C-alpha cells in the first residue's frame, strides 16, 4: 500500500529583486523586478506504508520545501500529492491526526515550561484518551531515557535531550507517517546514536512510514535502505542506498602497505595519492583502471598488504552535488508578468 505519493510536485517562489543605489530604489517603487526561484520542480516519488526513506540533498535543494508541502504547511504551484489518501494542503483534521513533522531547527515544546506541560497540551489538541496517553508517554520516555527530564524547563536541557523530548511530542498521538527534517542536527555523537537506535526500533515495531532528511550519512546508513536524492529542486536518484556508490562514483580506493618503512615517490601516476602514513598509503583510482593498476603495482613493488574499497557514501554524494552545474538564474520579470 502506498503511503506517500507525489506527482510532478512543484513549488515556485516569486522573489523581489532589489537593486543597489538610491535611483534604483526609487525606480523600484514604480517598476518592480522579480525572479522565480524553483524550490521544487516536477518531483515525483512513491513511498510504501512502513518504509523508511532518506531524502537527501544539499542546502537549498528543496528537501524542507517538499516536507512542508507533504505536511500541508504550504501550497504547491503545480502537481499533486497524497499522504495516506489525503491531500495535505486541504488540511483535513483527520489527516493532521495521522502524521507528524519534526524539524531539527524548530521547537514545538514551550521553552520556559517543563516538557510534561507541552505533552498535556498535545493530549488535549489530539484528544488522546487518558489511558492511551499515559501508556504512550511511559513507553516513549523509557525508550528515549528521559523520564527524569520531563519535569525540567525545556530551556535547561541540552540539545540532545530536547530533541528526544521533541520526538516524544511528535509521537504521542500515534501518527502513521513521520516526516523528519534534520532530527540530529547539532547533536553530539552519543545523542545521535540514541536517536538513531530509537528511530530504528520504534519504526520497526510500529511500521511507521518515515521520510528522513539528514546531512549525517551515518543517520542514513543506520536507518534507511532507500534514498531519494534531490538537487536544485529535481530528483537525481531514487533507489537502493547501495546503488548510489555504483552509479555515481567514478573511483575506488586502493590501500597499500609496502615492505620497509617508506612509500615509493612515483605513485601519482596511478591516481590521487592521499592519507600517507608510511609504509601505508591510499590511492584514488578510476574504477575502470583498477585491474591494470593493481597488476602494475604488484609487479613493480614489494607489497605486504593490499585492499580495494568503494569511497565513503558521504564523499560520493558530496561529489554529486558539487558536480551539478549551478541553476541558471531566470530573467527578471516585471510586475504583472505571468
Residue 337 has pLDDT above 90, yes or no: no
Q: Are residues 186 and 282 in the same domain?
A: no
Confidence at residue 267, expressed as pLDDT on a 0 to 100 scale: 95
Residue 48: pLDDT band with limits 50, 70, 90:
very high
**Residue pLDDT, tens place only, 157-176:** 999 999 999 999 999 999 99
Q: Are residues 94 and 23 in the same domain?
A: yes
Q: What is the DSSP letter of 57?
A: -
Q: Are residues 16 and 90 in the same domain?
A: yes
Say how far apart CA 240 and CA 228 lie, in whole Å.
9
Residue 281 lies in a domain: yes
Percentage with pLDDT > 90 across the chain? 70
Q: Are residues 84 and 195 in the same domain?
A: yes
Q: Provide the whole-model pTM.
A: 0.82
Residue 208 lies in a domain: yes
Residue 329 has pLDDT above 50, yes or no: no
* Mean pLDDT along residues 233-260: 91
* Mean pLDDT along residues 331-336: 39
Percentage with pLDDT > 70 across the chain? 92
Q: Are residues 7 and 27 in the same domain?
A: yes
Q: Are residues 179 and 76 in the same domain?
A: yes
**Residue pLDDT, tens place only, 266-276:** 999 999 999 99
Domain that holds residue 256: 250-310
Domain boundary among 219, 245, 271: 245
Residue 120 has pLDDT above 50, yes or no: yes
Q: Are residues 287 and 268 in the same domain?
A: yes
Confidence at residue 22, expressed as pLDDT on a 0 to 100 scale: 72
Q: Are residues 220 and 302 in the same domain?
A: no
Choose among 223, 208, 138: nearest CA to 175.
Answer: 208
Q: Are residues 258 and 239 in the same domain?
A: no
Determine contact, residues 185/105, Cβ cutoff 8 Å: yes
Give the chain's mean pLDDT: 89
Confidence at residue 296, expressed as pLDDT on a 0 to 100 scale: 96
290-298 contact pairs (CB < 8 A, 24+)? 290/252, 290/254, 293/254, 294/254, 296/270, 297/254, 297/256, 297/270
Residue 31 has pLDDT above 80, yes or no: no
Q: What is the CATH number of the domain that holds 305?
A: 3.30.70
Confidence at residue 324, expressed as pLDDT on a 0 to 100 scale: 58
Residue 335 has pLDDT above 60, yes or no: no
Q: Are residues 287 and 218 in the same domain?
A: no
Residue 334: pLDDT band with limits 50, 70, 90:
very low
Residue 274 lies in a domain: yes
**Residue pLDDT, tens place only, 55-102:** 998 888 899 999 999 999 999 999 999 999 999 999 999 999 999 999
Q: Are residues 75 and 30 in the same domain?
A: yes
* Mean pLDDT along residues 40-45: 93
* Mean pLDDT along residues 15-19: 72
Residue 133 lies in a domain: no
Residue 330: pLDDT band with limits 50, 70, 90:
very low
Residue 316 lies in a domain: no
Confidence at residue 37, expressed as pLDDT on a 0 to 100 scale: 85
Nine cell digits for residue 31: 517598476
Residue 178 has pLDDT above 80, yes or no: yes
Q: Are residues 190 and 299 in the same domain?
A: no
Residue 72 lies in a domain: yes
Domain total in the chain: 2
Residue 336 has pLDDT above 50, yes or no: no
State whether residue 4 is helix, strand or coil: strand
Residue 7 lies in a domain: yes
Residue 167 lies in a domain: no
Q: What is the CATH number of the domain that holds 40?
A: 3.40.50.300
H or E element that contains 34: strand 33-48
Amino acid at each position: 500500500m502506498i503511503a506517500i505519493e507525489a506527482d510532478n510536485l512543484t513549488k515556485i517562489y516569486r522573489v523581489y529583486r532589489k537593486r543597489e543605489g538610491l535611483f534604483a530604489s526609487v525606480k523600484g517603487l514604480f517598476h518592480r523586478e522579480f525572479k522565480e526561484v524553483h524550490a521544487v520542480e516536477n518531483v515525483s516519488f512513491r513511498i510504501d506504508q512502513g518504509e523508511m526513506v532518506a531524502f537527501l540533498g544539499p542546502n537549498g535543494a528543496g528537501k524542507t520545501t517538499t516536507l512542508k508541502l507533504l505536511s500541508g504547511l504550504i501550497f504547491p504551484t503545480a502537481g499533486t500529492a497524497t499522504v495516506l489518501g489525503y491531500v495535505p494542503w486541504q488540511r483535513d483534521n483527520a489527516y493532521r491526526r495521522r502524521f507528524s513533522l519534526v524539524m531539527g531547527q524548530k521547537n514545538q515544546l514551550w521553552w520556559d515550561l517543563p516538557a510534561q506541560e507541552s505533552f498535556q497540551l498535545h493530549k488535549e489538541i489530539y484528544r488522546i484518551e487518558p489511558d492511551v496517553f499515559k501508556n504512550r508517554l511511559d513507553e516513549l520516555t523509557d525508550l528515549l531515557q528521559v523520564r527524569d527530564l520531563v519535569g525540567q524547563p525545556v530551556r535547561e536541557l541540552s540539545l540532545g535531550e530536547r530533541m528526544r523530548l521533541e520526538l516524544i511530542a511528535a509521537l504521542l498521538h500515534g501518527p502513521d507517517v513521520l516526516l523528519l527534517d534534520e532530527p540530529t542536527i547539532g547533536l553530539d555523537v552519543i545523542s545521535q546514536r540514541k536517536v538513531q537506535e530509537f528511530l530504528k526500533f520504534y519504526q520497526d515495531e510500529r511500521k511507521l512510514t518515515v521520510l528522513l532528511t539528514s546531512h549525517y550519512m551515518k543517520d542514513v546508513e543506520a536507518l534507511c535502505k532507500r534514498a531519494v536524492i534531490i538537487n536544485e529542486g529535481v530528483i537525481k536518484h531514487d533507489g537502493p542506498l547501495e546503488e548510489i556508490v555504483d552509479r555515481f562514483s567514478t573511483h575506488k580506493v586502493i590501500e597499500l602497505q609496502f615492505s620497509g618503512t617508506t612509500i615509493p615517490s612515483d605513485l601519482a601516476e596511478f591516481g590521487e595519492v592521499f592519507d600517507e602514513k608510511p609504509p601505508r598509503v591510499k590511492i584514488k583510482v578510476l574504477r575502470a583502471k583498477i585491474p591494470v593498476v593493481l597488476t602494475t603495482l604488484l609487479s613493480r613493488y614489494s607489497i605486504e598488504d593490499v585492499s580495494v574499497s568503494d569511497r565513503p557514501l558521504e564523499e560520493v554524494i558530496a561529489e554529486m552535488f558539487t558536480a551539478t552545474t549551478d541553476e541558471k538564474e531566470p530573467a527578471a520579470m516585471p510586475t504583472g508578468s505571468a
